[in-house]
Amino acid sequence: MRRIVSGIMFALLLIGMLTPVFNIRPVRAETEGFTPEVTVFPEHPSTEDSVNVTVSFTFYTLPPYVEEFGPLTQVGNAFSIKNVTIYVPAPWEIVCALVHTSENNYSLGKLSEGVYQVQAYVYQVHYNLAYYLAASVSFNVTLPSKPVGGYSLATEGYPTIQPLTFYLTLIVILTASFTAIKRKTSRKTK
């Protein structure tokens, strides 16, 4: 009987500890949506940098979720990620309030000087069939800056100064040993 009670207490303790970790509660399907975001790395690229783009969606319920990220296409200075397919539930479906993120990285490579734009288009499937521009970002690629007066090399941290204590101790020991040897050899010769 004692084992059963302790097992039940352990199970309740475990459930109590894990409940705050999973914030899952049933909600209506269209009470909360999602937030799309397009991010460019590096933030201020030059013509020498390889430019990368991250498209991310933060969802506040499960579903919706990203079924598929579409391919990256380029027309002039405009990049498009078309057909990011998102599964959207019907309004009568029960969903869980669970914050989750889906993201995909795209490499644009080295770009020439100019203003570029990246656009992510969403295609919603299941209940709500819609196609629209979800997120867009513009960025400027510039020529690399040249330093005035020559180049300088960065050092890692501060230069370390070797402690003199070790060297001074070594000199004292060597001096004492040479003095002792000289005294012994000079006594033997007398």
Look at residue 53 in the predicted model and tell me its pLDDT: 92
Look at residue 52 in the predicted model and tell me its pLDDT: 92
Distance (Å, whole) CA 41 – CA 152: 25
Look at residue 26 in the predicted model and tell me its pLDDT: 46
CB-based contact 103:19 (threshold 8 Å): no
Instruction: Tell me the residue ranges of DSSP E strands in 111-180.
Output: 114-126, 130-141
Residues of the chain with pLDDT under 50: 24-31
Look at residue 27 in the predicted model and tell me its pLDDT: 46
Look at residue 139 in the predicted model and tell me its pLDDT: 87
Look at residue 14 in the predicted model and tell me its pLDDT: 63
- CA gyration radius, the chain: 34
Look at residue 117 in the predicted model and tell me its pLDDT: 92
Look at residue 12 in the predicted model and tell me its pLDDT: 67
Distance (Å, whole) CA 120 – CA 72: 9
CB-based contact 40:137 (threshold 8 Å): yes
Distance (Å, whole) CA 31 – CA 24: 15
The pTM of this model reads 0.56
End-to-end CA distance of the chain: 99
Look at residue 31 in the predicted model and tell me its pLDDT: 37
Look at residue 28 in the predicted model and tell me its pLDDT: 45
Look at residue 30 in the predicted model and tell me its pLDDT: 44
